[in-house]
Amino acid sequence: MINMTKTKCHITKATKLLAAASILGLAGAAHAADDGSSYDTYVYFGGFYLVPDDKRVPTGNPGDSFGVQAGVGKRLSDRLWVEGQYFGSTIETGGSSGTDYYQNGFGVDLQYAFGQRSEFTPYILAGLGGVYNDVIGSSDDKFTPYLNVGAGFTRAIFGNEQLRLRGELRAIYDDYQFQGQDGMVDYRAMLGLEMGLGAPREVVREVEKVVIKEVPVERVVVQEVAPAVVLDSDGDGVPDDRDLCPNTPAGARVDANGCVIEQTLVMRDITFEFNSARLTTNAQRLMENVVSFLRSDPQARITISGHTDSIGSEAYNLKLSRDRANEVRDYLVGYGIDANRLTALGFGKARPIASNDTEIGRETNRRVEFRIQK
């Protein structure tokens, strides 16, 4: 005898699931966009869990049953689609006899989608078709018509509108007669993928018509005046028209009048020939700027300090640094700068400002410094 309590339990659970999915779909429609999918055709495939009618199983205790489903959809209008589908499934008894049924079916559904298929889009469907019931150990194999209704959703995944997750619930009435039982109601829960085909179509959106009324206005002519060009020839941040001390050395700090304040400048670009106190050609050009500065600011006095890296003996580096400092002093005196305003000192390798363990550090330590005083 069929266990009617279990039959009612299976049908009740599946009906509740289907109703919940339908309510979710209708509720989600309020959040869906109005433009529709940009693809007119799609295919889908997935797997489903099947809750069979207890009348299919003599014991009234069906086991886990599964199947596959695939189909193709085509747009009929912005929201209405037609789908063709194939499905195949097995229905288990849950006992030692194994599979009771093999099912293979084809059908056509009409589907109404509540928005874009690329966003979270609920839909409902209804359709019909035919299914072949192959019953193991029985002569009741036959092809019968079926009707189905369902609800589901689609949503794009991985940021790709063409690839969508699809989930749905269906209730299927199969007009199959078995051992005096008329008609079977099965329930399926499917999860799969849906893929748009072809190039996306252009989505036409309705826009609000705006009427612009022309209103005469008084014509006003505005003459543009080019902004005044502010010159700062020595680049010290004080415009030339307010700079009382032009020819500031590059990098030197100045007061509000553009005059150099007391400070120590590292003159990176004053370089010498290798193992020599002779200024390079480029260094001589830069020294011309120092000459111009000292001529324009007669109150300034400079202490010139020579420094080396740690390569070589202490005595050698001390002499080399003194010779280089004196070379800079003699160069400035040769251009008319009063020798009493200049002091030359050599410190050799005694005052490094970087590590002598690297080439970059040693290059940094080989330097000339100007201590500017007033």
Residues 247, 137 share a domain: no
Helices marked H in the chain: 4-28, 281-296, 314-334, 359-365
Secondary structure string (H, E, C) spanning 79-94: CEEEEEEEEEEEEECC
177, 197, 217 - which closes a domain: 197
Residues 244, 192 share a domain: no
DSSP state of 281: H
Domain assignment present for 212 = no
Domain assignment present for 227 = no
Residues 280, 148 share a domain: no
Residues 156, 263 share a domain: no
Domain assignment present for 323 = yes
Domain assignment present for 209 = no
Domain assignment present for 162 = yes
Q: Which helix (H) or strand (E) holds 105?
A: strand 99-113
Per-residue pLDDT tens, the chain, 374 aa: give them.
334 444 444 444 444 444 444 444 444 444 444 444 567 899 999 999 998 888 777 666 667 789 999 999 999 998 999 999 999 998 876 555 455 678 999 999 999 999 877 778 999 999 999 999 888 777 778 899 999 999 999 998 888 888 999 999 999 999 988 777 778 899 999 999 999 887 766 555 555 676 677 777 777 777 777 777 888 888 888 898 888 888 888 888 988 888 888 889 888 888 888 888 898 988 888 888 888 888 888 888 999 999 999 998 999 999 999 999 999 999 999 989 899 999 999 999 999 999 999 999 998 999 999 999 98
Question: How many domains, in total, are found in the chain?
Answer: 2
Residues 255, 122 share a domain: no
Structure tokens given for 24: 């979710």
Residues 245, 178 share a domain: no
Note down the domain range covering 27. 4-197
Domain assignment present for 207 = no
Domain assignment present for 150 = yes
User: What's the CATH code of the domain at 74?
Assistant: 2.40.160.20
Is the pTM for the entire model greater than 0.85?
Answer: no
User: What's the CATH code of the domain at 357?
Assistant: 3.30.1330.60
Q: What is the pLDDT of residue 240?
A: 86
Give the strands of the sheet with 301-307, arranged side by side: 263-266, 367-373, 301-307, 342-346
Per-residue CA distances from 335 to 186, 273, 370 (Å): 107, 21, 17
Contact call for residues 273 and 284 (beta carbons, < 8 A): no
Domain assignment present for 112 = yes
Give the sign of the dihedral formed by CA 232, CA 238, CA 244, CA 247: negative
Residues 62, 127 share a domain: yes
Per-residue CA distances from 281 to 47, 269, 285 (Å): 82, 11, 7
Residues 166, 297 share a domain: no
Residues 133, 41 share a domain: yes
